[in-house]
Structure 1
């Protein structure tokens, strides 16, 4: 359906009693399917010469190939001549063309963005997504926390009602709105199934950040709990009635129900031994890991950049995107795990943690972890105090 344009006719602006009135017309539009910016300007009835002028002013400033359906633009026309053009993709991506005498000048608008550090508390009654909404946060915070706790918590299988997650996190804010979340500096999770987890971000001497427990043990394990940040298990490891072949068959892996195009992680460092079409498995990636382990990722829609046989991949690297290729009844990821040539259940494995902090770094880490804990507590107390101060005061009877 074509979105009806919003056409506003501004009131006449009279410069003086003796001068003629200046007429402004403002047109708001969106980029529609199969429409270029130039076509959109023509459709907004901007004269050909002015369309050419706008496009020329934006050359070298805006990459027209990145124009997307739904992008918004505004035309301000003064006495039939374009005076101002504004093109917006997001809260921080905005371009302008202004009239300067007889020419037009294009530029990217500078948007003021402020970095804040806040404590986010999520009380889980159903899911992490719903908890974020109830807390007034962007649901993206759930993905951020899933990344931090990826070695210990599967945020579909392990979450229970009554669990609580808290994080000291960077927020990038513009005009009072959160644009995105930055680094999680510290986080805790109190779970009915997984118990209490607490991690702190610490930058190692080589510049690489990592997460550690309050004692300095690595939060990182050799394998992730899941190849997806957040997805539900639709078929477990073991025998099952095959939905396509219609007979009982061993299911040598785990199926995760997830929309087509969901990023798929490598669960551990390794070497790609296969990346291509594999019949019933569809598009498949196979990775060889240390200690006789091998992982398989099937029914993919496409592969990640540089993922091919012989390529080295890192844990948490996006190696592919989920799909519905091969012998599949719907969008999902089949994840298989082999150890010494035989299939094993990925859901019941216990993998060791990575090396702890070196002893010489422990005093510095402990001091910084204590500082982050104090900061988290201070921000939480301040927030509670602010809520109390703004609470209505109950009337009392004399």
Structure 2
């Protein structure tokens, strides 16, 4: 929706670029970038004269990469007596550019946003969903995706979550003006669940700079395979015989279907080599990977292949290999995921893969020393919660 308003020297949306007498009139025009609309065209369609639109573009050259302009980006024109006085362009809470009048010329710059990194405790109790639990705790719902990443080897955050489950995490938070912009690394986390039991992991940086997650005894939190090829999605069709919705007869379903909107990132469940990366007809756009110990995985009905994903390419666990879609013989957007062992299809949902190599023994003393304060902070939350219930 396009807006236009006349205001009397009020503070503007993203900053306060002027402070003059209260009788000065300004016209403020708020707009968004439309599909196939370059910024120069958007400025002119917002009513900015051609020469002033050119001046804005010139002021931003070398400051803003116009190729990164996206549909939905916000911009605002502050007009004074029909002349541009101020322009700002916003992509996110931390990505904003401005053009200010300086005498007879315009000067462009990227607005400096103060961002503070904090380490905070997140404590969630799940009554309905992880999403609602995050909101109830005053957290950004994205914390659910962060936890799904940390526990990806042990917990499927759609199938395994039960009412009354609890999650706690010591996590980095990037904050601006008291608002969480994003989450960083999870330093330690616990999950207490009815179906998965008690899980507890700690982030540890190896001497070579690589970081991974380990359990308290030094065993790896990682497994050879993830529990799901999606961070968070629910199963709509399980492994086994079923009535095929398109072919209209009972047919073996050699995989698992996950509900996923078109464009959902699909990650490799394990390290492997790409054997298939093309349209296979009924399967639509398909990626298949060959793994160790005779395992193979396939991902069907994709909308797009990941960067560099082609036959012969090596991929790593958690690498985004494609985006989900609705191609091939499909009744709606979803991901079909199949797992083979020694050439035969097996049920992906009932596999129990071993953990990867534990922490080397010579690193255990350092690991225990570093996890001790993290464990103490996690336990403090638990003790406080128990005390509150008494």
* Cα separation, 1, equivalents of 2:257 and 2:45: 48
Q: CA deviation at 1:101?
A: 2.3
SS at match of 1:370: helix
Q: CA separation in 2, counterparts of 1:292 and 1:383? A: 47
- The 4+ residue runs of structure 1 with deviation greater than 6 A are 379-385
* Contact 2:9-2:24 at 8 Å conserved across structures: no
- State whether residues 119 and 380 of structure 1, in contact with CA within 8 Å, keep that contact through their aligned partners in structure 2: no
TM-score (norm 1): 0.90
Query: TM-score, length-normalised on structure 2?
Result: 0.92
Unpaired segments ≥5 residues, structure 1: 16-20, 388-398
Higher mean C-alpha displacement, 332-341 vs 26-35: 26-35
Contact 1:10/1:25 (<8 A) preserved:
no
Q: 1:112-127 residue pairs with structure 2 within 5 A? A: 112-127=114-129
The counterpart of 1:98, out of the listed 97, 100, 119, is 100
Alignment root-mean-square deviation, CA: 2.2
Task: Give the corresponding residue for 1:210.
Answer: 212
Q: Deviations over 1:357-380 (max 9, x none)?
A: 000000000111112112345678
Q: Please report how far the alpha carbon of residue 160 of structure 1 lies from its aligned counterpart in structure 2 after TM superposition.
A: 0.7
Task: Verify the 8 A CA contact 2:6 2:25 in the aligned structure 1.
Answer: no
Q: Is this contact kept in 1: 2:5–2:27, CA < 8 A?
A: no
Q: Distance in 2 between matches of 1:55 and 1:126?
A: 49
What corresponds to 2:245 in structure 1? Answer: 243
Change (3 A) 1:340 1:85: same
Q: Equivalent residue of 1:336, what SS?
A: strand
Q: 8 Å contact 1:7–1:28 — kept in the other structure? A: no
User: Do the aligned partners of 1:259 and 1:332 also contact (CA within 8 Å) in 2?
Assistant: yes
Matches of 2:386 and 2:68, distance apart in 1: 44
- Which runs of structure 2 are paired with 1:287-302 in the superposition (5 Å)? 287-302=289-304
Aligned counterpart in structure 2 of residue 182 of structure 1, from 184, 188, 196: 184
Gaps in structure 2 of 5+ consecutive residues: 11-18
How much has 1:67 moved relative to structure 2? 2.0
Q: Distance in 2 between matches of 1:49 and 1:289?
A: 59
Report the CA distance between 1:46 and its aligned residue. 2.1
Is it true that 1:3 corresponds to 2:5 in the alignment? no
Instruction: Look up the match of 2:112.
Output: 110
| Residue of 340, 353, 356 corresponding to 2:355 | 353
For 2:105 and 2:381, locate their aligned partners in 1 and report how far apart those are by CA, in whole Å: 51
User: What secondary structure is seen at the aligned counterpart in 2 of 1:298?
Assistant: strand
> Could you say which residue in structure 2 is the equivalent of 1:173?
175
Larger Rg: 1
Q: What is residue 36 of structure 1 aligned with on the other side?
A: 38
Secondary structure, aligned partner of 1:324 = coil
1:395 maps to none
